[in-house]
Amino acid sequence: MDFGGSDEIRFERLDRARIVTLTRPQALNAVTHRMVKALDKALRAWERDDGVDVVAVKAEGRAFSAGGDILHIYEAGRAGKPPVDFFADEYRLNARIARFKKPYVALIDGIVMGGGVGISFHGSHRVLTENAQFAMPEVGIGFFPDVGASHLLPNLGGSFGMYLALTGNRIRYGDALWSGLATHTIKAQDQSGFLDRLVATGDPESALRDPLSVLDWVNLYALAVNEENANGGRVVTAPTNGAAGIIPAVLHYYM
């Protein structure tokens, strides 16, 4: 599928899912104007297409996206041609993602900052792995939280959004999930399986509810149940008594 992104962004049709892959790993998938326009064009087409149930965005390499293409912005400014069109189109894309009527799943494995936040965190599902790191580093040079982050951050719990906006500090997947920036987390090694389930079901919630992952969690829970044996006074580690009822209930809920 070609929406004009050249070799910087790839679009795939897999059954009723559409997969977008950022393909500039050598530049940490920095977002270019070409990528912005191509993704916007694709989303406009897919939103009207009844054959599309879900859109997923991922990236090649060790970063989801380290932000906008700062080198291009710098060079344009030096040449006396501020990239006004780039920022205008980028902000329109952020708004389109926020209003997108179908599930928009950002699968984030690695650094996500600045412009990368704009094409991921406005979507309905923000799925982070243990390798994810979130930050808005532009505030370190006196810029406001960009790409719609001034809308995202105030909605976080407590004063956490203000903390991120004032410091630009990096956070990882645990804090992102706690604060509401992330909607889900998965292991990095489970990404392929998740995408396979997403393509098969077209439903992010079903794809994220992997029975094997649930069993892993329940096994850990069972091993952590320590109780004193009423007869012998021994401490045992097993899913006995109350836990024997809790675990099937948890399985029934998740599966």
Active-site residue identified among 5, 67, 114, 115: 115
Confidence of residue 55 (pLDDT cuts 50, 70, 90): very high
Catalytic residue check, 148: no
Residue of 170 and 211 predicted with greater confidence? 170
- The percent of the chain in helix, strand and coil, each rounded to the nearest 5, is 45, 20, 35
Per residue in 8-31, pLDDT tens? Answer: 999 999 999 999 999 999 999 999
Catalytic residue check, 77: no
Longest dimension (CA), the chain: 84
pLDDT score of 245: 53
The partner residues of 68 in beta bridges, in order of sequence, read: 31
* DSSP string across 48-107: H-TT--EEEEEESSSEEE--B-HHHHHHHHHTT---HHHHHHHHHHHHHHHH-SS-EEEE
Rounded Cα distance, 104 and 102, in Å: 6
SS3 255: coil
Active-site residue identified among 68, 114, 116, 148: 68
Q: Is the pLDDT of residue 151 over 60?
A: yes
Q: Is the pLDDT of residue 215 over 60?
A: no
Give the list of residues 6+ apart from residue 164 with CB closer than 8 angstroms, or none.
Answer: 135, 136, 145, 153, 156, 171
Confidence of residue 217 (pLDDT cuts 50, 70, 90): very low
- pLDDT above 90 coverage of the chain, percent: 63
SS3 216: helix
Rounded Cα distance, 248 and 76, in Å: 61
- Taking the model in full, what pTM does it have? 0.81
| Token pair 């530049």: residue | 27
Neighbours of 127 (CB within 10 A): 26
Catalytic residue check, 68: yes
Catalytic residue check, 146: yes
Domains and CATH numbers, the chain: 9-207 (3.90.226.10), 210-254 (no CATH)
- pLDDT above 70 coverage of the chain, percent: 82
Q: Is the pLDDT of residue 59 over 60?
A: yes
